[in-house]
Amino acid sequence: MDLDPRTPLGWTFIMIGATLSLFGMTTNADAHLYAPCLGINANLVWGFVLLLIGMFLVPFGHRGQRRREKP
Protein backbone atom coordinates (compact mmCIF):
# COMPACT_ATOMS: atom_id res chain seq x y z
CA MET A 1 0.00 0.00 0.00
CA ASP A 2 1.58 3.25 -1.12
CA LEU A 3 0.24 5.65 1.46
CA ASP A 4 2.78 8.10 2.81
CA PRO A 5 1.94 8.64 6.52
CA ARG A 6 2.66 12.36 6.18
CA THR A 7 -0.46 12.83 4.04
CA PRO A 8 -3.08 11.67 6.62
CA LEU A 9 -0.98 13.24 9.36
CA GLY A 10 -0.89 16.60 7.57
CA TRP A 11 -4.63 16.57 6.94
CA THR A 12 -5.31 15.67 10.58
CA PHE A 13 -3.27 18.67 11.73
CA ILE A 14 -4.99 20.93 9.19
CA MET A 15 -8.45 19.83 10.35
CA ILE A 16 -7.63 20.11 14.07
CA GLY A 17 -5.66 23.35 13.59
CA ALA A 18 -8.45 24.99 11.57
CA THR A 19 -11.08 23.93 14.13
CA LEU A 20 -9.05 25.32 17.04
CA SER A 21 -8.13 28.55 15.21
CA LEU A 22 -11.73 29.29 14.24
CA PHE A 23 -12.93 28.52 17.75
CA GLY A 24 -10.14 30.71 19.17
CA MET A 25 -11.09 33.60 16.90
CA THR A 26 -14.77 33.44 17.83
CA THR A 27 -14.04 33.22 21.58
CA ASN A 28 -11.23 35.78 21.75
CA ALA A 29 -13.10 38.03 24.19
CA ASP A 30 -14.27 35.22 26.50
CA ALA A 31 -12.25 35.80 29.69
CA HIS A 32 -14.03 32.98 31.56
CA LEU A 33 -13.09 30.40 28.89
CA TYR A 34 -9.39 31.27 29.06
CA ALA A 35 -9.19 31.60 32.84
CA PRO A 36 -7.58 28.10 33.22
CA CYS A 37 -4.62 29.26 31.10
CA LEU A 38 -4.40 32.70 32.73
CA GLY A 39 -6.00 34.62 29.89
CA ILE A 40 -3.94 33.31 26.96
CA ASN A 41 -6.02 32.44 23.90
CA ALA A 42 -4.32 29.06 23.64
CA ASN A 43 -6.83 27.77 21.07
CA LEU A 44 -5.92 30.45 18.56
CA VAL A 45 -2.15 30.22 19.10
CA TRP A 46 -1.90 26.43 19.11
CA GLY A 47 -4.50 26.01 16.37
CA PHE A 48 -2.47 28.27 14.10
CA VAL A 49 0.74 26.35 14.88
CA LEU A 50 -0.93 23.01 14.03
CA LEU A 51 -2.43 24.47 10.86
CA LEU A 52 1.02 25.57 9.67
CA ILE A 53 2.57 22.17 10.49
CA GLY A 54 -0.24 20.43 8.58
CA MET A 55 0.19 22.66 5.53
CA PHE A 56 3.91 21.92 5.63
CA LEU A 57 3.43 18.13 5.89
CA VAL A 58 0.86 17.55 3.13
CA PRO A 59 3.11 18.49 0.15
CA PHE A 60 5.89 16.33 1.57
CA GLY A 61 3.43 13.46 1.88
CA HIS A 62 2.31 13.83 -1.75
CA ARG A 63 5.90 13.96 -2.94
CA GLY A 64 6.76 10.85 -0.91
CA GLN A 65 3.73 9.05 -2.30
CA ARG A 66 4.72 9.85 -5.89
CA ARG A 67 8.20 8.47 -5.20
CA ARG A 68 6.75 5.24 -3.79
CA GLU A 69 4.43 4.79 -6.75
CA LYS A 70 7.28 5.05 -9.28
CA PRO A 71 8.06 1.57 -10.67
**Residues found near another protein in the complex (CB under 8 A):** 1, 3, 5, 8-9, 12-13, 15-16, 19-20, 23-24, 27, 33-34, 36-38, 40, 42-43, 46-47, 50
The conformational region for residue 57 under phi > 0 = left, psi -120 to 50 = alpha, else beta, is: alpha
Q: Least distance to another protein from the beta carbon of 50, Å?
A: 6
- Comparing CA positions, the residue from 53, 41, 42 lying closest to residue 15 is 53
Contacts of 19 (CB under 8 A, 6+ apart): 47
Q: Least distance to another protein from the beta carbon of 70, Å?
A: 15
Q: Least distance to another protein from the beta carbon of 58, Å?
A: 13
